[in-house]
Amino acid sequence: MFERSDPLTIYMHIAQRAALLKIFSESQVGRTALRKARPAQTATGVPEWVLREEPVHKYFTTDGYWPVQEDTRLGGYLVRRKLGWGPNSTVWLALYRHGSSLTALKVMTGAATKHLAGLPDALRRMRIQSPTHPGHAHVARVLDHFYHPSFNKNHMCVAMEPLSEDLQTFSARWPGPGGLPSGLARRVVRQVVQALDFLHTECRVVHAAIAPEHIMLASVPPADIRPAIAIADRAPTWRTTVPPDGVRLALTPSLPLPVALPSGGATSLDAWRHVSVKLLPDLYSLARTRKSRARAAAALRLPHLCAPEVCLGASGGTPADVWSIGCLAFELAMGHPLLSRDIASEHVPRALAAHFGELPHPLGKRGKYRQPYLNDNGSMKGSKVEPISVAEVVGRAPPADAGLLIDFLNHVFILDPSQRPSARELLKHKWLQP
């Protein structure tokens, strides 16, 4: 990515200038310059794909991204193509050893690596747990993990099986009102619930981040993946200069492995009978031994999917994952989330009360963050709003199976977490039957 020598030299340069960058970025001039350096803030003429890539200024701190380049070797892996990125990592299609197998290599940021100290032990436990469980096949396999040495710290690298598009990207192929074909939405949710049952019962893990962007399609046959490597040779690059000292950076686009739509009959269940999805393990949750900490972190990252007890700081655990399943089912079936993706975490309790009514008093009493929202008697502060039920929202643009969907959501969206069904119990619902 950097138009300089090897990554180690680059990282030494980064470490030496980290303090300078911090001072620079906190100044008014620095804030303006860094905003201009981010792809989303650049002037007209920047390629459209650049706007969707990672912010370049995060390559210039010791807690930021590692400057991976195509054809770089990390451990025993040869990087061939960029698949995507997130706030805590970049992801690359890589060949293991002498090209014997393909992997998706996730290279964590410096900041993420610091918080993943407990991850290796958790990954070892997951690899040996109940491979015959139906949900085992729907959790993305973690194949390897190692640390890539750098100037003054290591970056954790996690090798996983290569998968296709995430559900959020895939769902965008159905623009306009309505979500995925009803049969496909039900199939996807069932497989995710199976994966969740495996994590909850066999691995004793709370996922803490059930979201469309963390669910990958796995319908591409292995024989179709290898030719995709050649696409990297034709991928464009975009070069920019990052202040304060004009270091040059070259970005490459994310090229996820696509899923081909079936020819004809795309709305029928038969067309998607062989489609399989896999839930990405949430590395932050795996690395934490205290479930409440994992759920609190998820509340900050995905507030629109959080259960009421998490938003209030009352508790975490497996019932909160089940609530997120309801949010996922609603979004896939309806084509939009129940709560806005842009909602701030402090607004979630009132938004939930607008759909489901007053929060249970015992739940509010336990909440560490109840003060801004609840009175001493547990009632919601501010003027009362007549709740708009989920059934009413679904009824505005009902899918073909609206009745079963509403019944499923009513089973999931129970404000008292102790009364919520488990993932295994949820699998018995008619909406999830194959």
pLDDT tens across 13-26, in order? 433 343 333 433 33
Say which residue, 334 or 249, is predicted with more confidence.
Answer: 334
In one-letter notation, the amino acid at residue 396 is R
Residue ranges of the alpha helices (H) in 130-232?
167-171, 182-201
User: So what's the pLDDT on residue 428?
Assistant: 96
User: Alpha carbon of 48 to those of 40, 52, 153, 213, 259: distances in Å?
Assistant: 9, 8, 34, 21, 22
Token code pair at residue 389: 């039920």
Q: Are the beta carbons of 53 and 39 closer than 8 angstroms?
A: yes
Distance between CA atoms of 341 and 57, rounded to whole angstroms? 25
Around Cβ 45, how many Cβ atoms within 10 Å? Answer: 5
Give the mean pLDDT of 191-216: 91
**Per-residue pLDDT tens for 163-177?**
988 998 888 877 666
Burial of 392 (0-12, 13-18, 19+ CB in 10 A): exposed
β-strands 101-108, 154-160 pairing = antiparallel
What residue ranges define each of the domains in the chain, with the CATH number in brackets? 7-128+141-162+221-251 (3.30.200.20), 182-216+275-432 (1.10.510.10)
Say which residue, 67 or 192, is predicted with more confidence.
Answer: 192
**Per-residue pLDDT tens for 331-355?**
999 999 999 888 887 788 888 888 8
Q: Are the beta carbons of 363 and 379 closer than 8 angstroms?
A: no
Assign 412 a pLDDT band (cuts: 50, 70, 90). Answer: very high
> With 90 as the cut, is the pLDDT of residue 190 above it?
yes
**Per-residue pLDDT tens for 125-169?**
677 677 889 999 999 988 888 999 876 578 999 999 989 889 988
> With 60 as the cut, is the pLDDT of residue 308 above it?
yes
Around Cβ 232, how many Cβ atoms within 10 Å? Answer: 18
User: So what's the pLDDT on residue 3?
Assistant: 41
User: So what's the pLDDT on residue 22?
Assistant: 40
**Dihedrals φ, ψ of 242, to 5°?**
-110, 130
Burial of 172 (0-12, 13-18, 19+ CB in 10 A): exposed
Q: Are the beta carbons of 171 and 179 closer than 8 angstroms?
A: yes
Distance between CA atoms of 58 and 41, rounded to whole angstroms? 15
Q: Give the CA-trace dihedral at 196, 201, 207, 210, to 10 degrees.
A: 20
Burial of 19 (0-12, 13-18, 19+ CB in 10 A): exposed
Token code pair at residue 44: 């007209």
Distance between CA atoms of 294 and 257, rounded to whole angstroms? 30
Distance between CA atoms of 370 and 378, rounded to whole angstroms? 9
Token code pair at residue 141: 């396999």
Distance between CA atoms of 408 and 9, rounded to whole angstroms? 56
Token code pair at residue 334: 């309806």
pTM: 0.81
Assign 423 a pLDDT band (cuts: 50, 70, 90). Answer: very high
Place of tokens 């939930």: 352
**Three-class secondary structure of residue 396 per DSSP:** coil
Distance between CA atoms of 49 and 136, rounded to whole angstroms? 35
Q: 215: left (phi > 0), else alpha (psi -120 to 50), else beta? A: beta
Distance between CA atoms of 334 and 338, rounded to whole angstroms? 9
Burial 93-120 (b: 16+ CB within 10 A, else e): bbbbeeeeebbbbbbbbbebbebbeebb
Q: Which residues pair with 2 in a beta bridge?
A: 249
Assign 237 a pLDDT band (cuts: 50, 70, 90). Answer: confident
Q: 397: left (phi > 0), else alpha (psi -120 to 50), else beta? A: beta
User: So what's the pLDDT on residue 291?
Assistant: 42
Assign 400 a pLDDT band (cuts: 50, 70, 90). Answer: confident
pLDDT above 90: percentage of residues in the chain? 25
> With 60 as the cut, is the pLDDT of residue 1 above it?
no
